[in-house]
Structures are given as C-alpha cells and as structure tokens.
C-alpha cells in the first residue's frame, strides 16, 4: 500500500491561490472550493458509493482518493478537501456509532455521566492509518491543487455523543455543560485529544491546510462558547501550529455572534455562513481584536440560491466577491455544504465566474 508523504516532503505550493489568500496575500484570482464538494451532488460519486456504507468508504484509501479527486476534475476548484466524516475518528477509536441515511450519526450508548466519559476510548493513529494512506495517494495525484484536511471540533462531536444523534435544541448537551462543568470539560478534553491526533496524522501525511468544523457551535451564546468550548478548540489549533505553519480554517453554522471568539481559538481563516455579509463579518472580526490585523474570511453563498437560476446565482456571486474585498483575504465558498440535489453544472459555472470576475477586478 502507498505510504503517506512525510512533512519534510510537502509539495511547494506557495503560489496556490487558496494558500496565498489564506495567509492574507494577493492571489492571481479569488480561490474557490465548496464544502461537501466531494460527493453528494455528483453522479459519479453516487455510482462509486453504491452499496458501500459511509464509514467503510472513509476507511478505504482508494475510495477516499477517488472521491476527493472527482470535484477537482469536474469543477476545477482551487482546493480538494479530503473525503471523510467528522465522526470517523470516534468510530475508528471504537465508539459505537453509525451514520444512518436520512438521519446522520447515531450513537448506540450516549455519553452523559462522568463514568461514561472515563470509559471513552482514545484514538490510536493506527486506527485511522487508511486516511494517511489516502493522503499519500492524493498528494501525488493533485499536482498544483492544495489538499485540505479536516476534523470535527469538540463541541460538535460532544453534541452527537451526548444527544445520541442530531439534535435541534441540544438540550441534553447544554444541560450537561451547565449542571456538571467538570464532566463537560473532561469530555471535551478527551475529544480535543482525539481531534488533534486525527489532524496531526493528516498534517504528517501531507495535507496543505486544515479546517475545523464546529457545525453546531451556533447554538451557543458567546459567553458559553468562551467558557465551555473555546479552550478546547484553541488547544487543537495550537497543537497543529506547533507541528506546521499550514493555514487553519474554522467554520460553524449560525456563528455570526461568535466570529471573534472563533478567530481567537487560533484560526487563520474564519468561515462565515450566509447569514452575515462578508464585509460585516470582516468588521466584526477586526473589532474583536484590532491587533490581529485584517481578517481572512471564507464564504458565503447560500446553498439554496444554487436552485434559483443562473441570473440569481451570478448576481449573488458578484455581490459576495465585492463584499469579500473588505477583508484581508477571501476564499469563496458556500455558506454551508453543497445540497445533494444541486446541479453539478451550476458549481462548475460558479468556479469559472469567480475566477474570471476576480481576475478582472
């Protein structure tokens, strides 16, 4: 089996638009990629995945590599993102869970007590070695296209574990947080260790940037985020930074009130969903801590707009490109993931439009 590339053998992609923008430089065009671009809307992905459970696919190097490459070939995006799932390291470590179609991650034995937390298994890097093998395959196939690695943030992983699956209100999660802070912090400490181990493996294997998904952090107030979540996410970003200076992206849904705190965790780039215009997001980020300098933002086209016809899509893309100029750097993306019934041709058209429009500006 192909071995993953060591950090010392990392590709020289200093002029790649995504990496230039992420570091606050001026790329030759605004870079663009899409969250959940690896699959979902692509017929070739559905054909490849037929009969293969999600978590099995995420531990098969050849499948990971091919699925990651598909949107790069089809759309010409400026970055590939590793095909995986945020709950994969939990599953690989031995936590009983499954991804149920139409529902999402379902945990067989929810974690709700100090005893539950104490018995959570730690992640051994060998348990996710197929992911490193897939990165090794990809860095040889991607040429000049950067590869983004990713993982789930401790709060979002904790929500799945405590609730037992997806939740609208996160009531059990918040109840544990407020009623038993010691157990809560012990849980997030364990999850931060798992996430950091998973990201370190990806960095060592050769990814060119990482993104930490805190999908459900928007359910929290800023006070609760800073007290109960920020220290654990900060530990992850610090751990990655100690290993490599590659760009670090932080994203959550509905986190307009948390943008400054999410940047404070150690992110170089803050993802913004469609609810907050990018110029307003840049202003909020700068106001949170002016000494950090001009913020770099990622986003933020509403995924639902992709169903509104090309005239509406083009109008929104151009608006977002204009608003992104207010930031210290802009990576074009959706405000959340690609919806499964999105026409692939629309995504290809957006990539072409972003490239040509930003080159002309």
Which CATH number characterizes residue 330's domain? 3.20.20.210
Looking at residue 158, its pLDDT comes to 98
Is 85 marked active-site? yes
Looking at residue 217, its pLDDT comes to 97
Looking at residue 293, its pLDDT comes to 87
Is 36 marked active-site? yes
Provide the whole-model pTM: 0.95
Looking at residue 361, its pLDDT comes to 54
In a domain, 1, yes or no: no
In a domain, 335, yes or no: yes
Of 10, 23, 36, 226, the catalytic one is: 36
* Pair of tokens at residue 95: 């936590």
Is 275 marked active-site? no
Is 172 marked active-site? no
Q: How many domains does the chain have?
A: 1
In a domain, 146, yes or no: yes
Looking at residue 360, its pLDDT comes to 59
Domain boundaries, position 72: 7-351
Of 40, 112, 235, 263, the catalytic one is: 40
User: Mean pLDDT by 10-residue block, N- to C-terminus, for the chain (361 residues)?
Assistant: 46 95 97 92 95 96 97 97 97 95 93 97 97 97 97 98 96 98 98 98 97 97 98 98 96 97 97 98 93 93 98 98 97 97 97 93 54
Looking at residue 101, its pLDDT comes to 87
In a domain, 275, yes or no: yes
* Pair of tokens at residue 84: 């995986």
Looking at residue 7, its pLDDT comes to 46
In a domain, 320, yes or no: yes
In a domain, 2, yes or no: no
In a domain, 261, yes or no: yes
Is 40 marked active-site? yes
Of 45, 91, 160, 225, the catalytic one is: 160
In a domain, 145, yes or no: yes
What's the full length of the chain, in residues?
A: 361
Looking at residue 25, its pLDDT comes to 96
């Amino acid at each position: 089996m192909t071995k993953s590339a060591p950090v010392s053998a990392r590709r020289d992609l200093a002029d790649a638009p995504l990496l230039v923008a992420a570091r606050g430089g001026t790329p030759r065009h605004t870079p663009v990629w899409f969250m959940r671009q690896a699959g979902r809307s692509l017929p070739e992905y559905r054909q490849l995945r037929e009969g293969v459970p999600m978590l099995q696919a995420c531990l098969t190097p050849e499948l990971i590599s091919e699925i990651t490459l598909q949107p790069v070939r089809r759309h010409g995006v400026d970055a590939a993102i590793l095909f995986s799932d945020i709950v994969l390291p939990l599953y690989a470590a031995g936590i009983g869970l499954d991804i149920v179609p139409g529902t999402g991650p379902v945990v067989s034995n929810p974690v709700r007590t100090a005893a539950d937390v104490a018995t959570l298994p730690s992640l051994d890097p060998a348990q996710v070695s197929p992911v490193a093998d897939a990165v090794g395959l990809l860095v040889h196939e991607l040429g000049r296209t950067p590869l983004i690695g990713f993982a789930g943030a401790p709060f979002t992983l904790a929500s799945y574990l405590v609730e037992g699956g997806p939740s609208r209100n996160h009531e059990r999660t918040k109840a544990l947080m407020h009623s038993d802070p010691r157990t809560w912090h012990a849980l997030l400490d364990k999850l931060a260790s798992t996430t950091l181990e998973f990201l370190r493996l990806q960095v060592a294997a050769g990814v060119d940037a990482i993104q930490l998904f805190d999908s459900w952090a928007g359910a929290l107030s800023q006070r609760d985020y800073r007290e109960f979540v920020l220290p654990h996410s900060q530990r992850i970003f610090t751990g990655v930074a100690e290993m490599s200076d590659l760009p670090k992206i932080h994203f959550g849904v509905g986190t307009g009130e948390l943008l400054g705190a999410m940047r404070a965790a150690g992110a170089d780039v803050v993802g913004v969903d469609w609810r907050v215009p990018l110029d307003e997001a840049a202003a909020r980020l700068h106001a949170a801590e002016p000494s950090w300098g001009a913020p770099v933002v990622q986003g933020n086209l509403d995924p639902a707009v992709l169903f509104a016809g090309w005239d509406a899509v083009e109008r929104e893309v151009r608006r977002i490109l204009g608003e992104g100029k207010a930031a210290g750097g802009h990576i074009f993306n959706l405000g959340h993931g690609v919806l499964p019934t999105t026409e692939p041709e629309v995504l290809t058209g957006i990539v072409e439009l972003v490239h040509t429009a930003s080159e002309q500006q």
